[in-house]
Copies of this chain bind each other. A is one copy, B any other.
């Protein structure tokens, strides 16, 4: 397989000149240039090998998204919330003409198969971080990287959506509609069966999956406290995002709630559907509010009131930070409450 040096030899010029023909064509006189080009054609040489060039250049023109620890490429793309995030990143890539790579963290991967350790990119974006050690490989590579919705200290760039504000707005919205009897559907991030939390016991610790979930829980707590409700008295279920029973569980656990606060969109949609299956009208008999806005939320019937956690903007901002490089920066994005049809005034008993 022809190399630059072969082309140079064939054309009777030095490597440098041949190199220039491909990189700074107008630095070499037409006559020589043509000779080199002819030689290249002759030998089927398609231009400098990107791999080799890389060694010196140091830039690849690509960034990587690292999916959460337990997700592969397809899991990331299938997840409606994450796929919005990916979309945001991809927009930023298009802005600067960069390529986008998805690099799952394969913990066991040795040698070339170890994701982050070997990915040939200019920087990383972490889709979700649960432990600091997950970002260690990126730190060691000394490439720019950004974490999302996670506090990794002042020295690591981050983009965060103010989950507290979002969840607070959601709870406040329901309170303003007159609701006083709630149910909370929270996340369980450790694999396992859903948990129903007994009413009346403090449970800050158990209620917490990720830090971001804790923030939401705090927001609920604070908003409810303002109208004299102790969150510990609010029935709560904690379940995985994909747990199909969770909707029924929270409806069972909070039988006389007039409103459900869900930390997940998909679960919120499931609650709407399950409530209707049980003969309760939404929002007349029950208001439901979710967190995150995906296409399915709008299609829900009635359309779901939810918090837009600005996934696209978050992705775009994160990618821009990586492209910009420079000293660590921290961006905070304000979520937006999207009021649709699944919430309404509390029915007076």
Contact = CB atoms under 8 A, between A and B. Distances in A.
Interface of A: 1, 23, 44, 46-47, 50-55, 57-62, 64, 72-78, 83, 86-87, 90-91, 93-94, 97, 99-104, 106, 109, 111-113, 115, 117-120, 137, 140-142, 299
B77 A99 contact: no
B97 A87 contact: no
A132 to B, nearest CB: 16
Ranked nearest first, the 10 interchain pairs of A and B with the lowest CB-CB distance are: A46-B140, A72-B94, A73-B90, A74-B90, A50-B118, A101-B101, A120-B120, A74-B91, A99-B103, A100-B102
Nearest to A113: B97
Contacts of A104: 94, 97, 99
How many copies of this chain does the complex contain? 2
A47 B139 CA distance: 12
Contact of A54 (B47, B113, B120): B120
A81 B175 CA distance: 42
B142 A1 contact: yes
Nearest to A140: B46
Given A50-B120, A59-B112, A104-B99, A87 B77 contact: yes
A184 to B, nearest CB: 29
Given A54-B54, A55-B52, A119-B62, A73 B99 contact: yes
B115 A99 contact: yes
B113 A62 contact: no
A77 B83 contact: yes
Contacts of A140: 44, 46-47
